[in-house]
Structure 1
Amino acid sequence: MKFVDEAFIDVVAGDGGNGCVSFRHEKYKEFGGPDGGDGGRGGHVFAVADPNLNTLVDYRFSRRHEAKRGEHGKGSDMFGAAGSDITLKMPVGTIVTDAETGQVLYELLTPGEVVTIAKGGDGGFGNLRFKSSINRAPRQKTPGWPGEKKNLKLELKVLADVGLLGMPNAGKSTFIAAVSNARPKIADYPFTTLHPNLGVVRVGPEQSFVVADIPGLIEGASEGAGLGHQFLRHLQRTRLLLHVVDMAPFDDSVDPVAQARAIVGELKKYDAELYAKPRWLVLNKLDMVPAEERAARVKDFVKRFKWKGPVFEISALTREGCQPLVQSIYQHVHAQQKALQEPVEVDPRFALGADEEQ
């Protein structure tokens, strides 16, 4: 299935049905009175977060979504039926934005979450509504109210705990395949990853986290070079970034430090908040470095890169060093989740009932 993380759609809720002017016509009932019913409301347009979807491809080719209008009111006190609602299934993590104003309307972050993105119009009043003691035979009615019409932009940001950063061919896909259930395309040429991949890493019973792998970044990505800049949005909801560095490039003239600095620079240009996220350094492909040279090469890289954060030495191909990294990641993610679940202390001055006690 083609991965699509952005789409534009038009949604139109149903118009309300018109009210009816009618009078009771029955034998021996000369003054039967008004019996015109109200019109039915128009159909709503809902959006639901479906955990079984991971792309917006359905909306790339189906742009207009219109609900049914309400039925008109009829005589004999018959009210019009409401128009049928429609429900649009979207992946969890979809952001619904007004395409004209740029205002974010909804974020579907919880599986099964339902929001009303376009409300149907109310039905019009029939003449039965206008009956009063001084107006025994009203001939007034009102038309149905129009339903909402919106031009929307749908943007998908995948929900993952950990995001992988790095140059093309740094070994990100090999790493996610080694530690999770994901099976991305792996080859000995750059840009094998063309769309984000998600993998669930199982640490133990009921202990897991989600890793997101995006296409590799290259220098100039923030200006549109390469593919990775198109998918950096998928890292904005992660709790931790892993900067994967190729320590054994095929070309001896390539400097891993220069490549790592280019990635950091592009990250900072794209989004300051993303740049400020916790970031760990993962030095990959050490199995291709002679054992007697590994320590010196790692020390030289860290010194020239001026890195003071956590450093992990791994080989994604042989899975050497992957397990300690996975355990550290889980502990970090679990600690952040636990911190968010802890109750917030309330200032006694703003506690419920504080004013009455004083």
Structure 2
Amino acid sequence: MARVESATLDRLFEPVQLGELRLANRIVMAPMTRSRADGFDAPSELHAAYYGQRAEAGLIIAEGTYPSPEGKGYCRTPGIVTAGQIEAWRRVTGRVRESGGASTVLQLMHVGRVASRHNKAVDADTVAPSAIAAQGSLYSDIHGMVPMDPPRALETSEIIRVIEAYRQAALNARAAGFDGVELHCSSGYLPMQFLLACSNRRQDGYGGSLPTRIRFVVETLEAMAGAIGAGRVGLRIIPGNPYNDMQDDDPVATYGALLDAVDPLGLAYVQVSRSPQPGLDAFALARRHFSGPLILNDGFDGASAAQAIADGVGEAVSFARHFIGNPDLVARLREQQALAGFDRSTLYTPGARGYTDYPALDATDHSQEGRP
């Protein structure tokens, strides 16, 4: 990694308060789908080991977890619904506390139309704001790559039930030992489906104009904040992200209006990723419309993360890919050591390989750094 002046680098290792979340440093582990939940959609001992290895982070945002059975879309992704799932997550958060004490947040991920019946319970519908199928496919353990299912449009009366599921999931996450929750409002999942006209053709109070399209996200955040406190709730956005068949003709207007609406809630943070749309500065957009803390994401190394914090672009920086192959990422960044790579072929496969078997720097032959 590029060398950086110690005074600037030190900014990464200063404590910071994000709402009610107290971080020992400004290095955040971003949520990543790793598809290793057990047959009951619960985390296992592997998850406890995986997150425990990375407990030196200031904040761990655990992987996208469904708030209701109909919110599941991918194979081997966890839930936070049943008593067994809550207890399994409690073992994970306990291991993190024992291993280093990072604050922990659970990302709540309802995928909406990005789903296959082959990956969810037989009685769990695939639902969305409108009955518009997403173009694309996803993986099923039994059938391989399968098309995404056409969704059923939610009735207006059902939307309250979906919001209630998020509220209850926030309470369940706290019961499982998490310090807070994050609403996944990007990557083409249900909250983003409500935001954008390409997937929301509703004619009721949750669709049509931009003020009504943002309503679902605002009311969901209000419900979660009412349950566990706004200072324990975060929001994840990627303005202009086309992933999972999304199209936003004016992301500046969309996310400006959304952040203006949620800013008075007093959320713990907004996690914002670089926009894939050329010329759109997502960080500046978020700073203009949100007065609370920002967690910056995507494409950072230690030097650029420290500089962004020093320049006041954000309060913390989240790392995803670097945390995969570097369980001791915090120590490597502090010592300005080279970062290891990771094996892409094991990102979503079951088992420990490519998950918990990456060695810390002091346990590896330095000549093997950067392995594929």
TM-score, length basis structure 1: 0.30
Which structure has the higher relative contact order (CA within 8 Å, separation 6+)?
2
- Choose between structure 1 and 2: higher strand proportion: 1
TM-score, length basis structure 2: 0.30
Larger Rg: 1 or 2?
A: 1
